[in-house]
Structure 1
Amino acid sequence: MTDNLVSLKVDLSDGVAEVTLLGPGKGNAMGPDFWRELPEVFGELDRDEAVRAVVLTGSGRNFSYGLDLPAMSGSWAPMLGEKSLAKPRTDFLDEVRSLQRSVTAIAACRKPVVAAVSGWCIGGGLDVIAAADIRLASADAKFSVREVKVAIVADLGSLQRLAGIVGEGHLRELAYTGKDVDAARAEKIGLVNDVYPDQEAVLAAARELAADIAANPPLVVQGVKDVLGHRREAEVAEGLRYVAAWNAAFLPSEDLGEAVAAFLERRAPKFNGR
């Protein structure tokens, strides 16, 4: 397995790989190390014949606070000026597509992935679990497609994948409002399959489910995943290309600058539609 990981930990036992988010940002926030290591890890899991299923979870109380804004804001900072031209926009487009490929590595992994979610799962965290095959939650879990709150169109896969998971109406409600959804609501709309009393219980359930999957003929299980994802992932890929181009064209705004400033200054943003 990949050595010298910073943001992820990987353990393997009886055909099940357990991937744990480590941060190092607060609440397992996703910084440069995470985006670099995620496709490396899932690429290795895909190739490792000893791996038959994967459990994906977070360390500490929360799955992930999502994108590490202070660590990643340099990606779009050059675009915030009024004279943002083709070069910074092209660089940003490349960056978005790179992050998209990181998340897609989860969906592309031939081994089924079971996400065990506790605490907060925000923004990029939701993009990640949307790319998993199955999602389980603890009773304290909370979910949010939070990007609209920071003046960004979500562009890493939640808008493309969640419609097939929760349905169009629920996705639009989540994406337009940026509201928080608790575990009970998440189960009701189909975002998660089941809810368990606490973090220990949901992780145990995810391990048991992954072990059940791992006990089946591996090539058949991989074939089932391939067939189920055949049409959907093609549609997702098209949607990802579109949203990356859309954000490269329209992301720069006064509202985005205000959202970043408000986040860093720990205050409520004031958006003006400019």
Structure 2
Amino acid sequence: MEENYRTLKINQESPDSGVFNLLINRPSRGNALSREFFTEFPAALSSLDHNPQVGVIILSGAGNHFCSGIDLQTLNSINQDTRSSDTGRTGEKLRREIKFLQGAVTAIEECRKPVIAAIHGACIGGGVDLITACDIRYSTENALFSVKEVDLGITADLGSLQRLPGIVGFGKAMELALTARSFSGLEAKELGLVTTLFTDKQTLDKGVAQIAQGIAAKSPLAVIGTKRVLIKSRDLTMDQGLDYIATWNSGVLLSDDLTQAIAAHLHKKKPLFAKL
């Protein structure tokens, strides 16, 4: 990737791979999310989404942690910059700022390509916002999680309170958000927040790369369709969801990917799909 970012780093897993790594790259600050991150992150995702070489994106953190949350300087700056003598205008400006920050996290769901979170070290506050928007989550056993916002005197507003209940259940999400307690990768696995645990970061990186390679080798039309339909179906009734997938597949089912997959199955060979 040619783009230069101050808070992120992008690299391709290998020259012929459809897997790209997107790293939060502020290791000296525990990968705390700066104001600049919220501008760069959706731009980076959009760039990866539109790159036909990209099949799967792995989101991880440089250094010792995945993400220690939103940078306190960023929070303080928002608090100071939105204040004015007019309460109504202060509130309206603050709402726009929150929506801007939310949009950066939601960009993960809006990205057509699957985004896999590979979590090690701390995953606190805004880090939980990010991973709950990801499509799949893996972590090390000793990763440390916390929905931390109530300890900072704020209500989590970037997506954890909306997405976490659908992942771990309403009651568990309520308990985690109200107590702001820390919990390990082992408990995250028990809660269903992460799918699989790895002993350390080295095995995490290797294991997630293998999983991502497997997904990247599949039909890109089938992969992006599966992601979009699952996300959309969260807000639909069963009948509406079935109607949505019928409409989706009526547009993309009859593709060269289907022909390739059937031929490969019949001849017991690996299918080769065109880039998307």
Q: Where in structure 2 are there 5+ consecutive unaligned residues?
A: 237-276
Partner secondary structure for residue 184 of structure 1: helix
Counterpart in the other structure of 2:228: 226
The separation in 2 between residues aligned to 1:206 and 1:8, in whole angstroms, is 19
Matches within 5 A, 1:1-274: 1=1, 3-12=3-12, 13=14, 14-23=17-26, 26-77=29-80, 85-232=87-234
Please report how far the alpha carbon of residue 176 of structure 1 lies from its aligned counterpart in structure 2 after TM superposition: 0.7
The runs of 5 or more residues in structure 1 that have no matched partner are: 235-274
For 1:232, give the aligned amino acid: R
Match of 2:251 in 1: none
Tell me if the contact between 1:61 and 1:118 (Cα under 8 Å) persists in the aligned partners. yes
What code does the residue aligned with 2:78 have? S
What fraction of aligned residue pairs are identical, expressed as a percent? 39
Distance in 2 of aligned mates of 1:172 and 1:80? 31
Q: Distance in 1 between matches of 2:222 and 2:183?
A: 35
Structure 2 partner of 1:245: none
1:174 to 1:84, Cα distance in 2 relative to 1, 3 A: farther
Amino acid in the other structure paired with 1:136:
Y
Q: Is residue 78–residue 88 contact of structure 1 (8 Å, CA) maintained in 2?
A: no
Task: Verify the 8 A CA contact 1:23 1:34 in the aligned structure 2.
Answer: no
**How many equivalent residue pairs?**
234
Query: 1:139, CA displacement in angstroms?
Result: 1.5
* Match of residue 239 from structure 1: none
* Bigger relative contact order (CA 8 A; separation at least 6): 1
SS at match of 1:28: coil
Kept in 2, the 8 Å contact 1:78–1:84? The answer is no
Q: Distance in 1 between matches of 2:196 and 2:177?
A: 22
In structure 2, the partner of 1:240 is: none
Q: Distance in 1 between matches of 2:103 and 2:146?
A: 21
